[in-house]
Chain A
Amino acid sequence: MELLTRLIAVAGLAIIAAVIIITRRAWVPGIGHAVPSIWRIAKITVSEARRRRVLRVAIILVILVFMSMNFFSYLSPEEQSRMLISGGLSAMTVFGILLAIFVAAFLIPGEIDRRTIYAVLSKPVRRFEFVLGKYVGALIIIGVLIAIMTMVLVAVLLIQDAILEDLPDSVFDPNIRAVLFASFMNYCSLCVLTAIIIFISTISSTTMAVIGALIVWAVGSMQSILHDLAEHAVGVSRATLLVLYHVVPKLENFDFRHEATNLIPINMLSAWNEILHGIGYVVVVLILAAIFFNDRQV
């Protein structure tokens, strides 16, 4: 079943690529207009977040969390390092999810509530450009925060490693590459989650988008449990669980914290598979978001 899902994802990507290539004559002139519009909307989304000090507050919180992780002095040096990697990556996941939810869920409904959307949509901007601009803007905001958190975590790890290196019983050598990769995969999962939040916000309110995002995140992080439950369920319950299993993205597959903490080699093939799966999912979700938003009464 797992293989089947992945095959469907790859086939989906192949179909999308084929449609893009076949219809390129129709959309190539439009792309010349769409890309700058998307970029301008993304830029103003980022500038607005910067002016509203969203990033500044989030960064200060994260640095405080990372600093507090060095207070577990009763642990052995090795345990301290593992704790730092595991705790740091977990904090990044939690902050990333909270940021994704509270940035993305407010972007489109916020524009509708404040009516700032009127002046934008009366300009030569297509609605799908507006949706994609907001998505790209959200990804930049989240990306900047994840990058800063990663830099802080790596810096703390390197400092700690330098301190512990001189100790006689120091055997733990943190794999910085694995930490960077786990952070990158965390960002990829947030890209998928953000696309879903943007989709929900194009058809409903901010509140619904926040609730929907929390449900998707919870279900997406428990996909293996969901699969096991489906195996043992019957009738409607089984069908429901299977639908959830196949429709909700498998966010837990983007989680490489365990590998980074315990120095387990990363299966790159599986990771790239998840990235491709995620891209396909994002493309489909954003196409749906653009279709629904096109008919939305603002």
Chain B
Amino acid sequence: METDNIVLQTDGLSKVYRSLFTRAGVRALDDLDLRIRQGETYSIVGPNGSGKTTTLKIILGLISPTSGTTTIFGSKIADLSVRERLGFLPEDAYLYDCFNGEELLDFYAGLFGYSRRRKQQLADELLALVGMQESRRVPFRECSKGMRQRIALAQALVNDPELLILDEPTSGLDPAGRHQMTRIILELKRRGKTILLCSHFLAEVEEVCDRVGILYMGRLVAEGSLAELTGEPTEIVIATSDLAPAQTRQIADHPGVVSLEGGVLRMDRANEDQLWAVLQLVHQAGGKIVEVTRPRPGLQDVFVRAIGEERK
């Protein structure tokens, strides 16, 4: 793997939460090695309690690891110059709720030492990017979940960060809000930002991420690009219509056909050489071919398989 363009790296990161009075501990993270390259969108997915939030907290320096190291842009997070180059969107948009979007951006931009004019300019630009110009003066506590999430994203972008860390950016949003947030993330990706994303929504992860790491009980159980994780398609799906019921049995009994239900015919990809014969059979039976596809397994399938193997 290339090492010169790695933005974020963790080596042997472990975290054990110990009880104050007993020696018993809960291992939240176990020997985690991550490499996130410049310009890529990487997602950590995993069930609740798998260690996603712990990972982000350690990366951000909010908690310290039991062992292991984290470097961002080649330095430790304690280095202020590192934090000047990253942005963080916390889960559930935890911001001061008695201020409005404009005031919040003014405060967070102020922490970077920007001038009053620059802060004003940033507020205008960022509120426009997240579609909050009209509601810029609405107090945060009166904002809908989607509006809050967009203001929180704007505060994460206040320093035009090279690395963006997003913790459950679409959590609790309705489908329209989720679509809007995904669109903004894709736009940020287009602008060349390196993005580390934690999410429960696998469809969203599939849409925006270049690489995915599946975390389970604190361990990275699978990692790779979507193509690497999902592998090659394993079946051929033929969608048909107008197929006479009397003919379906003959087609279903054809070698290579795995199933035929509701006009959808599934073939094992190993029997691809039989495809033409099956299509002819459908045609002879008076059916119409609507679509022939070779679908890849979804991230959901990969996720379930990876977790299932670990459970065994």
Q: A121 to B62, Cβ gap below 8 A?
A: yes
Tally the A-B contacts, defined by beta carbons under 8 Å: 69
Q: How far is the CA of A161 from the CA of B87 in the complex (A)?
A: 61
Cβ < 8 Å to A, chain B residues 90-106: 90, 92, 94-96, 98-99
Name the residue among B92, B95, B165 with the largest chain A CB count within 10 angstroms: B95
CA distance A114 to B98 in the complex (A): 13
Q: Interface on chain B toward A: helix, strand, loop, or mixed SS? A: loop
**Distance in Å: Cβ of B254 to nearest Cβ of chain A:** 59
- Contact across chains for B107 and A44 when beta carbons are under 8 A apart: yes
Residue numbers in B under 8 Å from A295 (CB-CB) = 64
Given A114-B94, A124-B80, A297 contacting B108 (CB threshold 8 A): no
Chain A residues whose C-beta falls within 8 Å of the C-beta of B81 in the assembled complex? 124
Kindly state the separation between the CA atoms of A47 and B107 in the bound complex, as whole angstroms. 11
| Chain B residues within an 8 Å CB radius of A121 | 60-62
| Cβ-based interface call for B152 (8 A) | yes
Report B-chain residues with C-beta under 8 Å of the C-beta of A227: none
Residue of A nearest to B107 (CB): A44
* Least Cβ–Cβ distance between B198 and chain A, in angstroms: 13
Contact with B along A112-128 (1 / 0, CB 8 A): 00111111111111100
Do B84 and A48 have beta carbons less than 8 Å apart? no
Q: Which of A40, A115, A297 contacts B107 (CB 8 A)?
A: A40
The residues of A that contact B83 with a CB separation of less than 8 Å are 122-125
CA distance A51 to B159 in the complex (A): 27
Contact B155 A119 (CB under 8 A): yes
Q: Mark B70-81, 1 if CB is under 8 A from A, else 0.
A: 000000000011
Most buried by B among A52, A118, A119, A298: A119
Q: Quick one: which of B84, B87, B108 has the most chain A CB within 10 A?
A: B108
User: Contact between B96 and A116 (Cβ–Cβ < 8 Å)?
Assistant: yes
Q: Cβ of A124: which chain B residues have Cβ within 8 Å of it?
A: 80-81, 83-84, 111-112
Question: Are B94 and A33 in contact, CB atoms less than 8 angstroms apart?
Answer: no
Indicate if the CB atoms of B80 and A33 lie closer than 8 Å.
Answer: yes
A126-B62 in contact (CB<8A): no
Main secondary structure of the interface of A (DSSP, over half): helix
Task: Tell me the chain B residues, 209-238 only, with Cβ under 8 Å from chain A.
Answer: none
B62-A298 in contact (CB<8A): yes
**With A115-B90, A119-B155, A122-B88 in contact, is A297–B63 under 8 Å at CB?**
yes
Complex Cα distance, B113 from A261, in Å, reads 48
Q: Which residues of B contact A119 (CB under 8 A)?
A: 88, 90, 94-95, 108, 152, 155-156
Report A45 CB to chain B, min CB distance, Å.
Answer: 10
Residue in A closest to B82 when the chains form the complex, CB atoms: A124
Option from B60, B63, B92, B98 in Cβ contact (under 8 Å) with A122: B60
Closest chain A CB from B256 CB (angstroms): 55
**CB within 8 Å of A: which B30-65 residues:** 60-64
Residues of B within 8 A of A297 (CB): 62-64
Taken together as a complex, chains A and B put the C-alpha atoms of A44 and B90 apart, in Å, by 19
Could you name 23 residue pairs across A and B whose Cβ atoms are closer than 8 Å? A33-B80, A36-B113, A37-B111, A40-B107, A44-B107, A48-B98, A51-B98, A51-B99, A115-B92, A116-B94, A116-B96, A118-B90, A119-B94, A120-B111, A121-B60, A121-B62, A122-B62, A123-B83, A123-B108, A123-B112, A295-B64, A297-B64, A298-B62
B residues near A (Cβ < 8 Å) are 60-64, 80-81, 83-84, 86-88, 90, 92, 94-96, 98-99, 107-108, 110-113, 152, 155-156, 159, 165
Given A33-B80, A123-B159, A124-B112, 19 more pairs with CB closer than 8 A: A40-B110, A44-B96, A48-B96, A48-B99, A115-B90, A115-B92, A117-B62, A118-B60, A119-B88, A119-B152, A122-B83, A122-B86, A122-B88, A123-B83, A124-B84, A125-B111, A295-B64, A297-B64, A298-B63
Residues of chain A at the chain B interface (Cβ within 8 Å): 33, 36-37, 40, 44, 47-48, 51-52, 114-126, 295, 297-298
